[in-house]
Amino acid sequence: MPPPISFEARPAGIGRARLGRLETPHGAVDTPQFMPVGTQATVKAVTPRDLREAGTTILLGNTYHLSLRPGEGRIARLGGLHKFMAWDGPILTDSGGYQVFSLGHLRTVDDDGVTFASHLDGSVVRLTPERAIAIQEALGSDIAMVLDHLVGSEASLDEAAAAVERTHAWAGRSLESRQRPDQAVFGIIQGGVDRSLRQASTRAIAELPFDGIAIGGLSVGESKVDMASALDTVAETLADDPRPRYLMGVGSPEDFFVAIAHGVDLFDCVLPTRLARHGQLWTSEGRLRLANSAVQDDPRPADPACGCETCRDYSRAYLAHLFRAGELLVHRLTSVHNLTYTLDLMRAIRQALTDGGYEALRD
């Protein structure tokens, strides 16, 4: 049985940056690459066709949400997540680990797993490492993530260390429980911003036979300096480990440059789509806030340098009007733009890593 995915990467000459190509059962992904987040089997406000046009090659879905609704069994009976959501490209599913963090008041963690009070109706939802893998196997994603214990930047060193211990134990259990040879499984490094803890977690996860390595527990409130320092620790510890490296939950254009220089291959983040729905656009001229009164009279496209449908066909003034009027179309138009902007940036970065000009692009 061939491995579920393959990955080849070469150093790109900028710090530890690499250029790579990830092959999955549903297609190839050039790296560094960004994955739009489609938590509930949809990237909010856009269609798979929109995603393709924006340059999306791989998407992210969520174990916790999809297990609650519509249920992994139903999705499996309907032919799996790809068919269900009409996206035939690669899909990575998150494990529900982030919900351990974000639903802090609705869950309790023990050594065996996590018990949630469903955010939908309060009913009890139990997630263990084994169950998280089983759900993802039912969904049929190309890449499954292990259940991990993510703590915020305010956690004490003891709490962070306990979460790391748990994450490592769960990582081993996850691998033992996997059934599908056609699905990759990525381990997740934790360890907060403490150097020795982060280093220990990196070593522990890298020792296990995962198909890829994720860097978790960052962009949860720590400073930019702390994030960069943690990335440095991970990169140094992983050294020339050949597997794909995925920085979870990042991020912003500034963060991409830092992380890529530290050897990160994959990213995901809700920021492009969430900011879009909140009326803020990334442009080559900086952040554009549709709520600002001056935008109402601006006839220019959101970003004159962008070729997306939104920038081709509509003015800032029109987008501002839609936003103020609460018209739903604005969500699609702004989401299409922010995703295009993000994916274009990723493409430009790969190009710059190939041809030079990374530092110039960064400024």
Partner RNA sequence: GGGUAGGUUGAGCAGGUGGUGAGCUCCGCUGACUGUAGAUCAGCCGUCUUUCGACUGUGGGGGUUCGAUUCCCUCCCUGCCCA
Catalytic residues: 94, 268
Q: Which two tokens stand for residue 140?
A: 């049929």
Q: Does 251 bind RNA (CB under 7 A)?
A: yes
Among 20, 249, 263, 301, binds RNA (CB under 7 A): 249
Least distance between RNA and beta carbon 149 (Å)? 8
DSSP 208-256: S--SEEEE-S-SSS--HHHHHHHHHHHHHHHTT--S-EEETTB--HHHH
Longest distance between any two alpha carbons in the chain, whole Å = 61
Among 12, 155, 248, 336, binds RNA (CB under 7 A): 248
> Cα(217)–Cα(116) distance, rounded to whole angstroms?
20
**Pairing, β 107-109 against β 114-117:** antiparallel
Phi, psi of 180 (to 5 degrees): -90, 120
Q: Does 275 bind RNA (CB under 7 A)?
A: yes
Q: Does 21 bind RNA (CB under 7 A)?
A: no
* Nearest CA among 176, 359, 141 for reference residue 261: 359
* Nearest CA among 5, 247, 326 for reference residue 141: 5
Least distance between RNA and beta carbon 2 (Å)? 26
Give the number of residues in contact with RNA, rule: CB under 7 A.
58
Q: Please, which residue, 1 or 250, has the CB nearer to RNA?
A: 250
Q: Please, which residue, 11 or 221, has the CB nearer to RNA?
A: 221
Q: Does 291 bind RNA (CB under 7 A)?
A: yes
Contact residues toward RNA (CB under 7 A) are 37, 39-40, 43-44, 60, 62, 64-65, 94-95, 97-99, 101-103, 105-106, 119, 145, 148, 150, 188, 190, 214, 216-217, 219-220, 248-252, 255, 268-271, 273-275, 277-280, 287, 289, 291-294, 296, 324, 326, 328, 331
